[in-house]
Amino acid sequence: MKMRIGTKIFAVLLLAGGCTCGGMLAGARLKTEKPPKEIIKEVNTVDSVTLEEILAPASELVTLKYTYTDLDIFENHVEMFGVKVPFSSDKIVFTYTGTVSAGIELADVKYKIDDEHKVIYLTLPQPKLFSHEMNEDDFKYYDVMNSIMTETKMEDYTRLISELKAEQEQKLAADGEFYQSVTDNAKEVLTSFLTLSDNTKDYTVIYK
């Protein structure tokens, strides 16, 4: 009888030990089989400040320079009673060159950013004239006729240069192609800068 009791006690101990081990294994399994953590993706967003920093170096490149050569005649004469006095003319035939610089003001570019669809909308201002220089060293005189009755003064030539500049600027404005070229050049430059930047290389640039 004692041997049987001991056997039963031993069996109970084995059963309890088995349950304890099973519980520990189950607990360990629950600990090791935790659901994986959610992967956090970094979302790259762009704002107007970022765009301004990217495009700042492009300020010089959005300017388009146009060099021209033209021929004109300067004539100064004496009039009496609204009639030109014969043989009183100073006449000069000449050629000249000049350079016109035009572009857009980057400060006036408007931005609209769609981070969800990775699109940057740009609205450009109207191109404007930045500078117009005439090279006086390139003035070439082909015909000069001086009159003893007319004295052409330096201020006459200064006025002439101002008038020639105005004529060239009117030609460019009337033609339309020059300022369209300025806008096209600006778009090409700005798109290149945005495409090459790490912050905006995945964005599509659309001009409105």
Q: Encode the chain (208 residues) as per-residue pLDDT tens digits.
A: 444 444 454 444 444 455 554 554 445 554 555 555 554 445 568 888 899 999 999 988 899 999 999 988 766 654 555 555 454 466 777 788 999 999 999 999 999 999 999 999 999 999 999 999 998 788 777 766 554 444 555 456 667 788 889 999 999 999 889 999 999 999 999 999 999 999 999 999 999 9
> Do 143 and 92 form a contact (C-beta atoms < 8 A)?
yes
The pLDDT value recorded for residue 76 is 60
> Do 105 and 125 form a contact (C-beta atoms < 8 A)?
yes
As a residue count, the chain comes to 208
CA 1 to chain centre: 101
The pLDDT value recorded for residue 132 is 95
The pLDDT value recorded for residue 23 is 52
The pLDDT value recorded for residue 124 is 96
Pairing of strands 119-123, 64-76: unpaired
What are the residue boundaries of the structural domains of the chain, listed by start? 1-40, 48-207
HSE (CB half, 13 Å, CA atoms) of 44? 10
- Helices then strands (H, E): number in the chain? 4, 9
The pLDDT value recorded for residue 55 is 93
The pLDDT value recorded for residue 94 is 79
Pairing of strands 204-207, 119-123: parallel
Cβ atoms within 10 Å, residue 143:
9
Nearest partner of 75 among 99, 94, 92, 100, judged by Cα? 92
pTM for this one? 0.64
- List CB contacts of 105: < 8 A, sequence separation 6 or more: 125, 128
Long-range (24+ apart) CB contacts under 8 A made by 123-128 are 123/207, 123/208, 124/183, 124/186, 124/187, 124/207, 126/179, 127/102, 127/103, 127/179, 127/182, 127/183, 127/186, 128/102, 128/103, 128/104
Residue 131 vs residues 61, 62, 101, 157, 197: alpha-carbon distances, Å? 15, 14, 5, 20, 30
Q: Which helix (H) or strand (E) holds 11?
A: helix 2-32
